[in-house]
Chain A
């Protein structure tokens, strides 16, 4: 299918570890990238490729992939990590970028 599926909402206690997942058939062929979006702001790239962080992204953010599922893991979540997270890859044709529906992360 040409869809990327994310859980709508996830919560984590401050300082704990949380995994946000993204499922889709295209993830068997293409890496996912992950974006963090805080209210009223543009999205920010946090993970790309196999497991790469852009400059300035804390190393508590990491990415992984297995089969049709890509994951974004935040190890030791901070209050400032509370945001919406979107995965991105390609659709089944390989020509069109595709975004997941987004996961709202709450840090308790």
Chain B
């Protein structure tokens, strides 16, 4: 069965950095686009970034462009999000999600999320 397991969240000071990881299993990772989506406490879902199956196409939300970097290692079945220059407003649960783009456009599997707290 498809599993996505995020890790790397925690407490970081404003201006600091953090690297999130997402370990994928149960499907051919290299065949799928992947995405990071976040949810601030008590708020709605916000798409953060996605990366194509080969890694050649990458997009970011304006709110994180220039500060966050998405990457993947298909040999390790892993997705990453390097977060730099963190701000209080980046505090959120960060979800890794598989994005289906060939049979439509939707996020069909989600991890359980990892909490990032940016606070001094």
Contacts and interface: CB of A to CB of B under 8 A. Distances in A.
Interface of A: 30-31, 33, 35, 37, 41-45, 48-49, 52, 54, 84, 86, 88-90, 95-102
Interface residues on B, range: 20 to 34
A88 B107 CA distance: 9
A101 B42 CA distance: 11
Interface of B: 35, 37, 44-47, 50, 59, 61, 95, 99-100, 103-113
B110 A44 contact: yes
A97 B34 CA distance: 12
Contacts of B45: 35, 37, 43, 86, 88, 99, 102
Given A31-B104, A49-B104, A42 B46 contact: no
20 contacts: A31-B104, A33-B105, A42-B95, A42-B110, A43-B45, A43-B95, A45-B108, A45-B109, A49-B106, A86-B45, A88-B45, A88-B106, A90-B105, A95-B59, A96-B59, A97-B35, A99-B44, A99-B46, A102-B44, A102-B45
A98 B44 contact: no
Please indicate which of the listed interface residues A44, A45, A54 has the most CB atoms of chain B within 10 Å of its own CB. Answer: A45
